Structure 1
C-alpha cells in the first residue's frame, strides 16, 4: 500500500503551522467590505517574508499596500502601538506611509489563520522609488533631518513622563536559542555569540543608566524603507519594528544598511549630518557609534535566525554568515565585548 490510512493506531494529526499565506481573493474581499473604496478591489501578493505585503488597487486605479503581520512577529493587539504613532505623525503632517481608516474608523483588523489570529492594515502607497534606487547626497541630508524630526515627534507622542527600558534594545537575547541552532556547525560562532550577547546587554543597561538618549524608534530604517518621488517628496515607511530604543541605534541602523547595500559612505555621512542639524548628537552617542553599528549586525543575524522557522534559512544561511560574523567579532573585540 502506498499510503497509510487513518486508524486508531495511525490517526490523522492536524499540522502545526508557523506561517500561512492568505489568498489575495480573500484579502480583496475583506478590503472591499471594510474600506470605503470604489469597486472593484483587486489584491496581489507582493512578497512573503517577515510579514506578507499585498498591493491593493481600487476601481479608480489608486494603489495601497496591505500588511498581514506574521503571527510570531507581532501580537495582534501590539500593532496598535505602531498604528497609533503613525496616526499621530499624520496629524502632525509628517511624511510617512500611514494606515487608512476603515468605514468604522478602526486602523486595523484581524482574521483567523491556521497558526492563530493575524493582524492586517491598509496603508497609503508611498510614491516614488526606494532611495537606494535614486541616491543623492542632498536627499540623504533631507532624509536624516526628517528622521530626527520623527524622533522629536516620538517624544511628544509618548510623553515626557514615559520611562524607557532597554528590553527591546536587548531583544536579541530572546532570540539566542534560535541563533545557536542557526549556527550549529560554526564552532567559533557557538562559542562567541553568547558572550557578545551577554556583555552587550550589560553595556546597554549601563548606557541607559547614564542617560544615553532613548525614544520611539523605527528600529529598521535603511535605504529601502524610504521613498523619494520625482519632485523630491520623501516618505518614510515600513514601521513594523517600531518600539523604544537608543536614538543613536536608530541612526546607525541606517548607516549600517547603507554599508550592507554597498553604497558610498557619502550618503550615510550626509544622512547623519542632516540628522544632527535637527537633533545634535551627544558626546556619549558619538563615543559609542561602533557599538551601535555592531549591534545592528548582531540583531540582524539573531532576528533572522528566530524568523527562519517561518521564512526559511536561505536568507542568511547561504548568504553572508561569514561576512556578518567577521563584522560582528572584529568590532566586538575592539569594544572589549569579546
Structure 2
C-alpha cells in the first residue's frame, strides 16, 4: 500500500519542528537517520524521502548533508507556496529547484505546492495553471496541496495559530473542493494535469471525508497521493483500526506516507513539534507501519529515475 516513506514534514519550519529545543537540527538528523535505517530494514526497496522543507533553504539541506542524513535517503523534497506564505514570486520556482540541485544529486520532489482561495478563487486557478507550466516534467515528483478545504471547525496543524494573523486562515482555503464538497474553478484545471501532478491530502483521525476523497481522486485521474500516518495518533484508542481503514481505502494509489507528529507524552516538550525523548521510538513507529503496510514481499520496486528532466 506504500510506495515511499517520507521522514517528517517541514523539519525546518518552526510550526513542525521546535528550533528552540534543537537549534542546530542535530536531534532531528539523528532521528531521521534512525528512521530511514529502520524503514530500510523492513523493506529495502521502499523509497525513503527526507521530509519536504519549507522554506526552500540550501543552508538546511547542506546541514543535513553534513550530518549524513542524505546518505540514508533516496530523495529530498521541498514545499512552496509563493502566492500565500513564501517571500518569493511564483516565477522563481526554477531558481528554487536549481538551488537544491546545486547541493545534492538526489532526486527532488515538490511534495507540496498549492495556492489558497483566501483572497479569490480565481487566484488559485491562475496559480495552478502557472505552477504546472513551471514544474510539470521538471522535477521527479510534483504533488498539489490539497483536495479539500480544512473544515472551519477544525484547527490547522501549526503551533502558532491565530498569532500568525491572516496567514493562519489561509490554511483553511487550500482545497480544490470547498468544505461542503463543491468544486472550485481550479478543480477542472487540475484534472487536465493528472496523472503528472499528484495530490496531497492529510486525513485526520477517523476523517469523515476518506471515502469521498477516494472517489474524487479516481474521478480526477490521480495516481500519486501523499498523506500521513501520525505517530501521535498511534496512542489513540483503536488507532490501528483507523490506520488499516485509511490505508486499505488508498490501496489503488501510489502512496507516499509521511511519518511525523511527536506524541505529547513522548517529547522533550509536550507538543507535536518537539524532538522525541527517545528517537529510537519514532524509528520503531516507522518500522511498525512499514511492516504492516509495505512488507518486503508486497511492494513493487519503483526506484526513481534520476535522469529526469532538470530545471
* TM-based fold match above 0.5: no
Larger helix proportion of the pair: 1
Structure number with the bigger relative contact order (C-alpha 8 A, sep ≥ 6) is 2
TM-score calculated relative to the size of structure 1: 0.27
TM-score calculated relative to the size of structure 2: 0.29
Q: Flag the structure with larger Rg.
A: 1
